[in-house]
A and B are shown apart, each in its own frame.
Chain A
Amino acid sequence: MSAGWTREQMAARAAQDIPDGSYVNLGIGIPELVAQFVPEGREFIYHTENGLLGMGPPPADEDRDLDLMNAGKKYVTALPGAAYFHHADSFSMIRGGHIDVCVLGTMQVAANGDIANWSTGAPDAIPAVGGAMDLVQGVKQIFVITQHTTKTGDPKLVEKCTYPLTGPGVVSRIFTDLAVVDVTADGFRVAELAPGISFEEVREKTGAAILPPE
């Protein structure tokens, strides 16, 4: 095992920064893992934009209800105290500023907090935005969990996004396999390095200026 954080460790690290009692929306992919790592003594209430507050873990196959799914169209459960509602209420929770934290995956995130996670902008790509643009504008705090670089080694933390934006200046903190990175008025700043990772390595793999931990 090389140095740095695994997907699970990235999710666990992000969960550490979510306050007790938060209403939380988790994006598809690594963000979904956050629900497995709620710190001892805290309770998060999960919102899924297709109309459920109080979402629980996936059911056993024999307990599936075909009408109970999450925004990623996976079967889920409803915990005691859950509520169902229609889409306008669901997005009032998002757009009305009632959700505390949203954890998203991304293709690119820029030093000014811009995020691009919905389209490559390629001519033959079929655009599919879902609720991403609503979430980044409406939720109080936007966290990103992502590998520090793409599969081909290109930086995902960049000076300026080259893909079409999901929203400008919305991301506050980024959890990668190498570090926790804050978006500050001075650009990227490392808040914490993963075990065995040097600031030099993070700087080399970041596509923008980045400040060392304070």
Chain B
Amino acid sequence: MINKQYASAAEAVADIPDGATVMVGGFGASGSPIELLHALIDHGATDLTVINNNTGNGEVGLAALIGNGQVSKMICSFPRSSQSKVFPELYRAGKVALEIVPQGTLAERIRAAGAGVPAFYTPTTVGTVLAEGKEVREFNGRPYVMEPWLKADFALIKCEVADPLGNLTYNKTARNFSPLMCMAATTTIVQTRTLVARGGIDPENVVTPGIFVNRVVEVPQPIHEDVLIAEGRSYP
């Protein structure tokens, strides 16, 4: 019987090596897999390339992973926020690299990787500095920029309900990039608020089919990044 359940977040991230590329689900605070990120901080892998829309907030979760010196490069669309100090300071000090990708192109590059499409053309960035050095091709008289797929070794994902096969549902706008990242990573690690038995999710309501998921950890009362920040917490 297939059972993708892991006993703990620590166990689920234990084989992430130094130098790995890691996708992290979430848009700002919503959907951020805080417990998996903190387990990765405890685990200590370094020289990571991290793919996320942002760069974390406060001194918890993704921002704490960056602040702990474990990230050598961020690939994201919006590395600033009113509550993000860690990344800007390290970036200005030259301690972490940045690849800036428009949000829709970021989503599509991840989706393309999951779908086995090595590259695609988009009008996004045409005529801007972000298109410099990239192939431009005309279709029906309009220029388009070629963008490559974006893969990862691991994805860290937060969901609402999972079953032992890795079928997932999400909560509202906490879904964001997560279903795409599940498809694009070699090993997808999911934390779920609720783990139900097989058949516990109506097949009509499955958002991420279990074929895209490798490991599931139940985290019954996940901490929300906004709550940690409101409490002024830091990690470790």
Q: Which residues does A use to contact B, with CB under 8 Å? A: 48-52, 65-69, 73, 78, 84-88, 90-91, 94-95, 124, 126-134, 137-138, 164-169
Contacts and interface: CB of A to CB of B under 8 A. Distances in A.
Interface residues of B, number: 49
Closest 4 CB pairs of A and B: A134-B104, A91-B104, A168-B127, A87-B107
30 contacts: A49-B103, A50-B28, A50-B30, A51-B173, A51-B176, A66-B29, A66-B227, A67-B171, A67-B224, A69-B29, A73-B27, A73-B28, A84-B172, A88-B108, A88-B180, A95-B108, A124-B92, A126-B91, A129-B78, A129-B101, A129-B102, A133-B105, A133-B125, A133-B128, A134-B124, A164-B129, A165-B127, A165-B128, A167-B126, A167-B128
Most buried by A among B170, B173, B175, B177: B173
Contacts of A168: 126-128
Nearest to A124: B92
A89 B225 CA distance: 25
B120 to A, nearest CB: 11
Given A129-B102, A130-B77, A137-B123, 19 more contacts: A51-B175, A68-B173, A69-B173, A85-B175, A86-B176, A87-B180, A91-B108, A95-B123, A95-B124, A126-B80, A126-B91, A126-B98, A129-B78, A131-B77, A132-B102, A134-B103, A134-B104, A165-B128, A165-B129
Contact of B128 (A50, A86, A138, A164): A164
Contacts of B31: 67
B19 interface: no
B61 interface: no
Interface in B171-215: 171-180, 207
A131 B102 contact: yes
A84 B179 CA distance: 12
Contacts of A167: 126-128
A133 B78 CA distance: 12
Contacts of A131: 77, 102-104
A18 to B, nearest CB: 22
Contacts of A84: 170, 172-173, 175
Contact of A87 (B92, B103, B129): B103
Identify whether the interface residues of A are mostly helix, strand, loop, or mixed.
Answer: loop
B191 to A, nearest CB: 14
Contacts of B101: 129
B103 A130 contact: yes
A63 B213 CA distance: 33
Nearest to A125: B80
B14 interface: no
Contact of B100 (A48, A129, A169): A129
Contacts of B130: 129, 133
Contacts of A86: 107, 175-180, 207
Contacts of A126: 79-80, 88, 91-92, 98
B111 interface: yes
Nearest to B226: A66
B81 interface: yes
Most buried by A among B102, B110, B224: B102
Contacts of A95: 104, 108, 122-124
Contact of A130 (B78, B128, B173): B78
